[in-house]
Amino acid sequence: MKGDAEQLLQRDQVSFADIYAQQQKAIKAGDYQLARPYRAPQQSAAQRFLGVFLFIMLLMSAGGAGYYFLILKKRNVGDRSPIVTQPEYPRPIINPHTTSVITFRKKDRTGLFQELERFGRQNAENTFMYLPIFSSSAGEPNKLTSPQDFFETLEIAPPTGDFYTNLTGEWNAYYYGNDLLFIFTIKKESIARRAMFDWESALMNQFAALLDQLNPGNIEFHDVIIRNTDARLGRYGNASQKIIGYGIARKELLVIATTERSLKAAIERLVVR
């Protein structure tokens, strides 16, 4: 301001007293305004309403999200009804081309046969279809079927209890083409072999329904070697296509198959695995 006054003095040849006097006259005349402190502009009523509305909408959104995650996504503590879930099935012993889960009601022999036949018709030639088998009952979740429950439902029974007590519990069912085969992990090879020898006289008759054969007739088993693995095949009559066989691969895996070709295919896979 001093610089401005000096310029004014130089231009108009006036003193500071003259400048002050001129300012006082301007103030009295209303032509000069003093600087006032800054005040923020006041919001209009419409702006205040919009702010309140947006705040309420934000609260409602947060409340809805909290209700979803804390109530809907969380099971009610007072709800005692069981949650029915499908348990995961074990990894297959043989790497399959496809997998199809079978579920049947406990003790329902006809239903289990129908399920087996249905998937057997669907499977392609020379391919392995893995069959995880679950049983169901009213009010209980489905569970993986044990070898004993599976065979008893089909009315298939080994002559002694050594067969089941020698199993570890791990087992698989497959279709190879439309031929059924089963693989069981065993504890001792000698016990498994003895149990199968004792079973040979009734094996074909008990598996007749799976082989679509009503009267197998007399059965004769003979030894075969498949990839350095001892196996046994049983035929009846001259119907060479009606064969059932078994073998023990790697001294730990018992294979029972409804045809010679499926027995060979399974043992070859297990030996080179």
225: three-class secondary structure by DSSP: strand
- The β-bridge partners of 136 are 105
Please, what is the Cα angle at 58 between 55 and 64, to 5 degrees? 145
From CA 107, how far away is CA 137, in angstroms rounded? 10
Give the tens place of pLDDT for each residue, 199-216. Answer: 998 888 888 878 776 666
The rounded distance, in Å, linking the Cα atoms of 149 and 156 is 10
pLDDT for 140 equals: 78
- Backbone φ, ψ for residue 24 (5° rounding): -65, -40
pLDDT of residue 209: 78
CA distance readout (Å), 100 to 13, 132, 134, 141, 233: 110, 7, 11, 19, 28
DSSP output for 172-194 = EEEEETTEEEEEEEES-HHHHHH
pLDDT-above-70 percentage for the chain: 63
For 214-254, what is each residue's pLDDT tens digit?
Answer: 666 667 899 999 999 999 998 765 555 568 899 999 999 99
Tell me the pTM: 0.67
Whether 37 has a pLDDT exceeding 70, the answer reads: no
